[in-house]
Amino acid sequence: MAQTSPLILRLIASSVCVANKAGTIIRDVMSKGELGIVEKGKNDLQTEADRSAQCCIIASLSSQFPAATIIGEEGEQVNQNVPSDWLVNEVDSSVLEASCPDNLKGIKEEEVSFNFGLNPFLIILRCLSIRKLKNGLLDHVTVLIGVAVGEKAVGGVIHQPYYNYLKEGAPLGRTIWGVDGCGFGGFSVGSPLKDKRIITTTRSHCDAAVQSALDAMCPDEILRVGGAGHKVLLLLEGKANAYVFASGGCKKWDTCAPEAILHSIGGRMTDMVKGEPYRYHASVEHRNWGGVLATATGEDHAWYFSRIPESVREKLSKSAP
């Protein structure tokens, strides 16, 4: 790797290749069909794909960046022998070509934490009927690797292992990246939607508070899709104006990468109680108790925030321990 490149770019350039490998592992597990499902909690399942991808991500990132903290959805331990071909050393050279602003040049590896996770195998497991998968649900699957420096989500990678899976002959899978204040790649920013208010939200964790926040924003259309990564992709590509989730169900590994990438195009993601970005330092609480409000453009955020019902805000603030 070009060790002379700024650390933030090397972190992202490596994460792109690690996420690609995790995607290959996921497809391999899925195609063999031996999913090894473990129930972690209500509505929260883990599969062999989650465990193996996690193993690849931790082993690869920790060997390249030993002083960084690594926080993973399935824990931080690699408890199996890591096959040598899961250890990724490559970097994506296109990321290294980005020009790094001065404020990101002096970062030290010890200040860095990776927050990574996989979204959302639950929907696949529930929808293993071929008919539903053919309707596009595999597109919702994402590998997320977020990079925080101190408390701030600075960079991130979203990999979709099944992107294009419904298009014959098209290359399977894609990886997008972004660094706040620096640049992004792997996608084209969509034009902001002006004529319609389209809101994206959860498809599997809806409750009365989630619905009441959505209703208060009078959407023309609601896109219920799985995973924080997939929802933010809809914002990045101009398919939705806002992502609204009035629940404390998302964790730091769900939002770190999407938040940083969204900020890299001028969008904004915050909690729904104070309207502040989440903090991601190594010892931070994993749950995002204050819900998620994200908008494709920074200017739109204030309007959506102003519409959140007081009862929803109160419920979210009381839900934190």
Note the residues at the interface with ligand AMP (CB under 6 A).
43-44, 119-120, 202, 204-205, 226-228, 245, 247, 249-250, 254
Rounded CA-CA distance 130/127 in Å is 8
Toward ligand AMP, which CB reaches closer, 27 or 231? 231
What minimum distance in Å lies between the beta carbon of 93 and ligand AMP?
Answer: 31
Toward ligand AMP, which CB reaches closer, 219 or 227? 227
What minimum distance in Å lies between the beta carbon of 229 and ligand AMP?
Answer: 8
Does an H or E element contain 159, and which?
strand 152-160
Residue 254 annotated in ligand binding: yes
Q: Return the structure tokens found at 87.
A: 């250890």
Long-range contacts of 305-308, Cβ-Cβ distance < 8 Å, separation of 24 or more = 305/270, 305/272, 305/275, 307/213, 307/216, 307/217, 308/213, 308/216, 308/246, 308/272
Q: Report the residue closest to ligand AMP, judged by CB.
A: 249
What minimum distance in Å lies between the beta carbon of 321 and ligand AMP?
Answer: 15
Backbone angles phi, psi at 93, to 5 degrees: -70, -25
Query: Do the Cβ atoms of 249 and 228 come closer than 8 Å?
Result: no
Query: Do the Cβ atoms of 227 and 258 come closer than 8 Å?
Result: no
Residue 151 annotated in ligand binding: no
Pair type for strands 183-185 and 268-270:
unpaired
Residue 73 annotated in ligand binding: yes
Toward ligand AMP, which CB reaches closer, 245 or 280? 245
Toward ligand AMP, which CB reaches closer, 120 or 185? 120
What minimum distance in Å lies between the beta carbon of 145 and ligand AMP?
Answer: 14
Alpha-carbon separation of residue 216 from 160, 287, 304, 306, 307 (angstroms): 32, 24, 9, 10, 6
Toward ligand AMP, which CB reaches closer, 155 or 291? 291
What minimum distance in Å lies between the beta carbon of 181 and ligand AMP?
Answer: 26
- List residues forming the annotated binding site for Mg(2+): 73, 128, 254
User: From the annotation, which residues make up the binding site?
Assistant: 73, 128, 254
